[in-house]
Amino acid sequence: MMEEELFDQITYVVHQLVSWVASFAIIFGGVVPYIPQYRDIRRTQNAEGFSTYVCLVLLVANILRILFRFGRYFETPLLWQSIIMIITMLIMLNLCTNVRMATELNTKHRSFTDFDWNYFWSWSRFMDYLQCVLAFTLLFTYVTYLLLDSVLFVESLGFLAVFTEAMLGTPQLYCNYQNKSTEGMSIKMVLMWTSGDTFKTGYFLLTQAPMQFWICGLLQVCVDIAILFQVYYYSLYPQKPVSHTTHTTSAKAL
C-alpha cells in the first residue's frame, strides 16, 4: 500500500515537472530563434537578410490570439507566449530600424502618418511602427468588444490568429526568393523555428487546444521546411540577384 502511494507521489511530481518544463518551453521557446538573428544584425550592422514582415506577421498573430482568449479560453502559457513574442518583435523592429537609418542616411524619411501604402511597414522611425501596432490593437479590441457574443466571430478570430502565425515564414521565404540567396538570414533561426513549431504542434495536440491551433501548426512546419530547402538549393546552385532589383529587395527586406 505504501509502495503504491509512493509511486503515485513520484508520478505526480514527475508529471508536474514535465508540465512546468513544457510550459516554460512554450512561453520562451518561440523567442529563442531570434537571438542568433539579433546578434548577427548587431554584429554586421546589416539587416538586409531579415524580413521585418516576419515581425508584422507575429505582431498581428499574437495580438489577435490575445483577443481570441476573451471569447474562448486556452492554456495560460500560450497567453504568456503571445505577450513575450510581441515584446521580442518590437525589440527586433527597433534594431532593424536603427540599422537601416544608420546605413541609408540619404533616404527620404517615411512615416506612418503619411498613409502611403507604397511604403507600408518601411518607415524611418521605430515610433511609426509602434503607432501602427497601437492603432491595429485598438481597432480590433473595439471590434472584438462589439462582437464578443458571436460564436462565428470568435472562432473566425481564433482561426485568423493562428493562420496568420502559420504564415510566419512566408515573408522570409519571399525575401530569399527575391534575393536568390539566403545570405544574411540566420540558418540557426530557421532550424529553431522548425524544431519549435514541431514541439508547439505536439503541445497543441496533447493539451487538446482548439483545432485551429494544431492545423495551422502543421502548416507552419511545412513553411519552415520550404525555407530549409531554399538554404540547400541556393547553396548548391548559387544565383546572382538581378542588379536593378537590389534596392527594392533591401526596402522590402526591412
**Per residue in 151-165, pLDDT tens?**
999 989 988 888 888
Nearest residue to 53 via CA among 178, 204, 187, 240: 178
Residue 172 scores a pLDDT above 50:
yes
DSSP state of 104: -
Rounded to the nearest 10 degrees, the angle between the axes of helix 187-206 and helix 211-236 is: 160
Question: Residue 88 corresponds to which cell in the numbers above?
Answer: 521580442
Q: Residue 172 is placed in which grid cell?
A: 522570409
Is the Cβ–Cβ distance between 182 and 195 less than 8 Å? no
Is the per-residue pLDDT at 249 higher than 50? no
pLDDT category at 52 given cuts 50, 70, 90 is confident
Task: Tell whether the torsion through CA atoms of 65, 213, 22 and 72 is positive or negative.
Answer: positive
What are the cell numbers at 60?
A: 498581428
Topology at the third CATH level for domain 168-237: Monooxygenase (1.20.1280)
Intervals of CATH 1.20.1280 along the chain: 168-237
**How far is it, in rounded angstroms, from Cα 31 to Cα 76?**
17
> Which amino acid is located at 195 in the chain?
S
Which of 1-5, 78-82, 165-169, 197-201 is least confident? 1-5
Each as own residue / partner, the long-range contacts of residues 130-135 (CB below 8 Å, 24 or more positions apart, any chain) are 130/90, 133/59, 133/63, 133/90
DSSP structural state of residue 117: G
